[in-house]
Copies of this chain bind each other. A is one copy, B any other.
Amino acid sequence: MADDAVSRKHHTPESAAHDVEAAVRLLDGRWKLLILFHLFDGRVQRYSDLEKLIPAISQKMLAQQLRQLEADGLVARTVYPEVPPKVEYRLTDWGQALCPALDGLLLWLERK
């Protein structure tokens, strides 16, 4: 058996393409990568912090992209029941683990 850390799912061209597409779809959307890279250093950011860090984004898109990242399990959202409201965003462990994978893409791009 020895079916441990080394074992990998078997992929056909179709299944590999399907799975990579699923991964890419998680990153798709005009602003998601920008948001992620502002969280990769482990910082926790408030909604208004992200608005300042990404000046060109509209509130609609910021909220929408954050909702999707949260629904997909990359970002965690914490609401503090205060007045005025305070909401913080940070990466999940899994979201943080995306960083080296994206670095692989950067290395590939630099190789061009």
**Which residues in A have some Cβ–Cβ distance to B below 8 Å?**
8-9, 11, 13-14, 16-17, 19-24, 27-28, 33-34, 36-38, 40-41, 53, 73, 94, 97-98, 100-102, 104-112
Contact of A100 with B106 in the complex, beta carbons under 8 Å: no
**A interface majority secondary structure:** helix
Q: How far is the CB of A106 from chain B (nearest CB, A)?
A: 6
Q: What is the bound-complex CA distance between A12 and B60, given in angstroms? A: 25
Contact of A23 with B106 in the complex, beta carbons under 8 Å: yes
Copies in the complex: 2
Q: What is the bound-complex CA distance between A28 and B21, given in angstroms? A: 9
Q: A33-B17, A36-B17, A37-B16 are in contact. Are A104 and B101 (CB under 8 A)?
A: yes
Q: How far is the CB of A4 from chain B (nearest CB, A)?
A: 13
Please name the residue on chain B nearest to A38 by beta carbon. B13
Q: How far is the CB of A63 from chain B (nearest CB, A)?
A: 19
Q: What is the bound-complex CA distance between A98 and B112, given in angstroms? A: 11
Contact of A24 with B33 in the complex, beta carbons under 8 Å: yes
Chain B residues, Cβ within 8 Å of A22: 109
